[in-house]
Amino acid sequence: MCGIIGCVGREDETLDVLVHGLSKLEYRGYDSAGVALSGDRVDVCKKSGKIADLRGALESREIGGAAGIGHTRWSTHGPPTDANAHPHLDCTGDVAVVHNGIIENYQSLRDELVSAGHSFQSDTDTEVVPHLIEDALADGADHEAAVREAIAQLEGSYAVAVVLSGDDTIYAARNDSPLVLGLGEDAYYLASDVPAFRDHTDQVIYLADGEFATLHADGWHVSDVDGDEVEKTVDTVEWDPEETGKSGYDHFMLKEIHEQPRAIRQCLRGRVDELTGSVDIGDLGDLSPTGVQFVACGTSYHAALYGAQLLRDAGIPAQTFLASEYATAPPPIGDALVVGVTQSGETADTLSALREARKRGARTMTVTNTVGSTAARECDHALYIRAGPEIGVAASKTFASQLTALNLFSLGTTRTSDSREIIGALRDLPSNIQAILDESNAEAVAETYVDSGAYFFIGRGLQYPVALEGALKMKEITYKHAEGFAAGELKHGPLALVTDDTPVFAVVTGDGEMARKTIGNVKEVEARDAPVVAVTDGQSDVERYADAVLEVPETHPQAAAMLANVQLQLVSYHVADKLGRSIDKPRNLAKSVTVE
Q: What is the pLDDT of residues 33-62, one digit of tens each?
A: 999 999 889 999 999 988 999 999 998 888
Whether the predicted pLDDT of 340 surpasses 90: yes
Identify the domain boundary among 436, 467, 491. Answer: 436
For this structure, is 45 an active site residue? no
Q: Please check whether residues 18 and 28 belong to one and the same domain.
A: yes
Which of 186-195, 276-285, 452-461, 534-543 is predicted with the least confidence, judged by mean pLDDT?
276-285
Is the preceding peptide bond at 79 cis, omega within 30 degrees of 0? no
pLDDT over threshold 90, residue 178: no
557: containing domain: 440-596
Whole-number mean pLDDT of the chain? 91
From 2, 7, 297, 379, active-site residue: 2
For 549, phi then psi, to 5°, come to -130, 135
Q: What is the pLDDT of residue 62?
A: 82
198-257 pLDDT, tens digit per residue, is 999 999 999 988 999 999 988 999 999 889 999 998 988 887 776 767 778 899 999 999
98 and 86 Cβ atoms separated by less than 8 Å = yes
19 and 57, same domain (yes or no): yes
Q: Are residues 214 and 284 in the same domain?
A: no
Based on the fold, state whether residues 293 and 389 are members of the same structural domain.
yes
pTM to 2 decimal places: 0.78
CB–CB of 462/486 below 8 Å? no
Report the pLDDT value the prediction gives residue 242, as an integer from 0 to 100: 66
Q: Are both 156 and 261 inside the same structural domain?
A: no
Which of 591 and 304 is assigned the larger pLDDT?
304
The pLDDT, as a whole number, for residue 333 is: 66
Sheet containing 180-183: order of strands? 42-48, 32-38, 67-73, 3-8, 188-191, 180-183, 203-206, 235-236
pLDDT at 278 over 90: no
**What is the per-residue pLDDT across 300-314, written as a single tens digit (0 to 9) for each?**
999 999 999 999 999
| One domain, residues 463 and 524 | yes
At which of 436, 468, 485 does a domain end? Answer: 436
Select from 390, 421, 436 the last residue of a domain. 436
Same domain, 396 and 486: no
Q: Are residues 368 and 446 in the same domain?
A: no
Give 334 or 172, the one with higher predicted confidence. 172
Amino acid at 370: T
Q: How many CB atoms lie within 10 A of CB 524?
A: 16
Question: How many angstroms separate the CA atoms of 538 and 558, rounded?
Answer: 16
Q: What is the pLDDT of residue 334?
A: 67
Based on the fold, state whether residues 325 and 260 are members of the same structural domain: yes
Share of the chain above pLDDT 90, in %: 67
- The full DSSP string for 87-152 is PEE-SSS-EEEEEEEEETTHHHHHHHHHHTT----SS-STTHHHHHHHHHHHTT--HHHHHHHHHH
With 70 as the cut, is the pLDDT of residue 595 above it?
no
> 357-395 pLDDT, tens per residue?
998 889 999 999 988 788 988 999 999 999 988 888 899
- For the chain, the domain total comes to 3
517 is catalytic: no
180-189 pLDDT tens trace: 999 998 899 9
The CATH number linked to 99 is 3.60.20.10
Helix 298-313 vs helix 397-413: crossing angle, to nearest 10: 30
CA distance 281 to 339: 15
Q: Say whether pLDDT at 10 is over 90.
A: no
CATH number at residue 490: 3.40.50.10490
Whole-number percent of the chain with pLDDT over 70 = 97
For residue 456, is pLDDT > 90?
yes
10 and 116 housed in the same domain: yes
Same domain, 256 and 154: no
Residues found in the chain = 596
Same-domain check for residues 429 and 448 = no
